[in-house]
Amino acid sequence: MLTPREKADLIKAEAHRLGFLACGIARAGFLEAEAPRLEQWLRQKQHGEMAYMANHFDMRLDPRKVVEGAKSVISLAYNYHTPPQQRDPSAPKLSTYAYGRDYHKVLKKRLKPLMALITERFGAVNMRAFVDSGPVMEKAWAQRSGVGWQGKHTNIIRQGAGSFFFLCEVILDLELEPDPPATDHCGTCRRCIDACPTDAITPYGVDGSRCISYLTIELKDAIPQAFAGKMADWTFGCDICQQVCPWNRFSTPHTEPQFLPKPELMGLTADEWHGMTEVVFDRLFEGSAVKRTKYTGLKRNLGFLKE
């Protein structure tokens, strides 16, 4: 009979074999510290038009309401760091996480053999996996499980690895030895706060309604004129707060073939971006996260940059 520590070690070994950058475990329970912060964030409408963020409030704060009898939350990180590769420095910019195949699809496939191992070794375990989806406060669990701390820009930072990684979770009714939570190492640094062109970042908080990623992806209406001249040429997502973070000097390139960008995409000139047809959009972004904004959304973003 394996102990909770031995079970945890077995799961972590498999996670690393599958290519995950980090794997940590936390005891499932109510996120007491996060509850008032989430409530205030929603009350101040900093989620903008992301109405789904206000749904399932109780479930977001307690994974035991997501998976009945949940005892543990496994948090995993998967590297996507790619040095910027767009060849035309004047071209509209694309967040590096969107260079390759949609990470939701990639990570869900990576999680399947991990869950299969859990079932094979420990029997009928009740569990659910999440990849930036569902009512799960992934950053809170990543910090609690020791994967990394939540920086002043609210992204998770890991010592020796930076912050260019995706997060995903497995919530399960299996008792596992928890890891100690990660400690904060931002110190007095405020580079991410000072660098944000739309003033979306406050220490350990982000006004989602002002974030360039929100404005170029989540917002469905016209981008408010208040942000004209402040988008820094970003047309899908934004990497500024991560680019200026000193911890990302430790980032190393990913080894995931599906995250490799298409040479044609990286070679687009500014004129080719602005003249892109829907046919070209569908070809370049097939299977990509950029599909979320759709052709009409991308054209809106490109048009706003030219105003």
pLDDT attached to residue 55: 61
What's the CA gap between 221 and 224, in Å, rounded? 9
pLDDT attached to residue 145: 98
Q: Who's near 110: CB < 8 A, 6+ residues apart?
A: 18, 19, 20, 78
pLDDT attached to residue 46: 67
Question: pLDDT of the chain along its 307 residues, tens only?
Answer: 899 999 999 999 999 999 999 999 999 999 888 877 877 876 776 665 665 566 667 888 899 999 999 999 999 999 999 988 899 999 999 999 999 999 999 999 999 999 999 999 999 999 999 998 888 999 999 999 999 999 999 999 999 999 999 999 999 999 999 999 999 999 999 999 999 999 999 999 999 999 999 999 999 999 999 999 999 999 999 999 999 999 999 999 999 999 999 999 999 999 999 999 999 999 999 999 999 999 999 999 999 998 7
Q: What's CA 130's distance to the chain center, in Å?
A: 12
pLDDT attached to residue 205: 93
Going by C-alpha positions, the residue among 166, 136, 131 that lies closest to residue 148 is 166
pLDDT attached to residue 36: 78
Domain ranges across the chain? 4-84+97-172, 191-306
In sequence order, what are the beta bridge partners of 167? 77
Please state whether the predicted TM-score (pTM) of the whole model is above 0.85. yes
Q: What's CA 116's distance to the chain center, in Å?
A: 24
Please give the positions annotated as active site: 132
pLDDT attached to residue 48: 59
